[in-house]
Amino acid sequence: MIMGFMTFVIGMLADVISANRKILEDVQYHVRKLTYDESKAKVWQEAASNKVEKEVAAENADYSSDD
């Protein structure tokens, strides 16, 4: 009787651990996705900023050479 109860308790514990692991994996996936999207957006923002700075510098150089 006690062995049956212990087997049941161990089975329930294993089920809870499994559910917890699935939740943690899902959370980890979403955190990594958010982190990746933020870093990707930052790279795009820096590239766009550099492009604008180059265009402004080129326009300023054109105006300076017209004088």
Q: Which two tokens stand for residue 44?
A: 């795009």
pLDDT attached to residue 63: 67
d(CA 47, CA 60): 20
Q: What is the DSSP string of 1-41?
A: -HHHHHHHHHHHHHHHHHHHHHHHHHHHHHHHHHHHHHHHH
Q: Where are the domains of the chain?
A: 24-67
Say whether pLDDT at 67 is over 60.
Answer: no
pTM attached to this predicted model: 0.55
The CA-CA-CA angle for residues 32, 14, 7, to 5°, reads: 180
Taking residues 24-52, report their average pLDDT.
83
